[in-house]
Amino acid sequence: MTVVSNPDHRGGQEHSQKTSGLLDAMNRQLATGITVLLCLSGMQFCLYIVLRYLAPLLGADPDQWHLFAPGFSNGGDPVATTSLVLHLVAGVIVMVLGCVQFVTAARRRWPVMHRAIGRAYVGSAILAAVGGLGYIVLNGTVGGAVMDVGFGLYGVLVLVAAVRCLRHARARDVAAHRDWAVRLFVLVVASWLYRLEYGAAGVLGTGGHTPQFTGWFDQMMAFAFYVPNLLIAEMYLRARRRDGSIAWRIASLLALSVAAAVVVLGVYSRW
């Protein structure tokens, strides 16, 4: 018996495939654009951290380190101060290496270098998280309990993402490794996004900020600088899977568009 396919059904499949392909391309281009903008502007942030807080430490007495970071470093607790320095140094390294790891051409052409940098990247992420968590436990944050919880959870999530990223790489599970690498990256850049989002809020005039970081906007930002990143990353990861629906692709595109607008506005506020 001869089976005759339904031309309408076949045409619908082709249309769906074309739509999915177009949405995939738009998602990739938008995600790439956001990543490039975050990396380029983030290098400026790293340079500021190095010149403002780290360079003066060279040759300085460790007991005097708190003088170079007033309001952050506690001169009465050298362990807390050391934790802060560890957080800053490792944070700069992880930001730079994270951007390098997402250069596709380098990753494909020099896989050995990619793996070596990846180990340093994950190690730096772990050290930055440990340093930040140590500082929170010993000294607390400027914003009090809400900021302590928000930033503490952020540090724990960085640790989890870093360990999972490394574990899947060692297990040769490339797909899972890439997914966790994306999650780790959006967490790593969150420290820079925190500044950008405050800049965007300043342009929009949202209010809610106090010098003690206890306003409604400050308390929201204790979580909002990384939770939306993870949600958008999950949408993007679901959308790029082969079995991902058009709905996920559209949701990812809309979420990335909002993220792009926030990043552009935040970068604009810094100039």
CA distance 61 to 59: 7
CA distance 213 to 125: 25
183, part of any domain = yes
Q: What is the pLDDT of residues 105-128, one digit of tens each?
A: 888 888 899 999 999 999 999 999
Q: What is the pLDDT of residues 155-179, one digit of tens each?
A: 999 999 999 999 999 999 999 999 9
Six token digits for residue 120? 């340093």
- For residue 71, what pLDDT is reported? 55
Q: What is the pLDDT of residues 79-109, one digit of tens each?
A: 887 888 899 899 999 999 999 988 888 888 8
Under the banding of pLDDT at 50, 70 and 90, the label for residue 51 is confident
Six token digits for residue 231? 């949600």
Q: What is the pLDDT of residues 181-194, one digit of tens each?
A: 999 999 999 999 99
Under the banding of pLDDT at 50, 70 and 90, the label for residue 67 is low
CA distance 136 to 154: 11
Q: Which of 9-18, 75-84, 147-156, 251-260 has the lowest mean pLDDT?
A: 9-18
CA distance 147 to 194: 13
Eight-class DSSP state of 52: I
- For residue 11, what pLDDT is reported? 54
CA distance 247 to 266: 29
Six token digits for residue 70? 């007033």
Given a cut of 80, whether residue 66 has pLDDT beyond it is no
Six token digits for residue 55? 């360079």
CB burial of 6-45 (b: ≥16 within 10 Å; e: otherwise) equals eeeeeeeeeeeeeebeebbebbeebbeebbebbbebbeeb
Six token digits for residue 32? 């790439």
167, part of any domain = yes
2, part of any domain = no
Q: Where are the extended beta strands (E) located within 102-255?
A: none
Distances (CA, A) of 173 to 111, 126, 170, 187: 15, 21, 8, 21
Range 33-51 average pLDDT = 89
- For residue 70, what pLDDT is reported? 56
Mean pLDDT of the chain, nearest integer: 86
- For residue 61, what pLDDT is reported? 63
- For residue 12, what pLDDT is reported? 53
Q: Which domain holds residue 87?
A: 7-268
- For residue 206, what pLDDT is reported? 85
Could you tell me the maximum CA-CA distance found in the chain, to the nearest angstrom? Answer: 89
Instruction: Name the domain count of the chain.
Output: 1
1, part of any domain = no
- For residue 173, what pLDDT is reported? 95
85, part of any domain = yes
222, part of any domain = yes
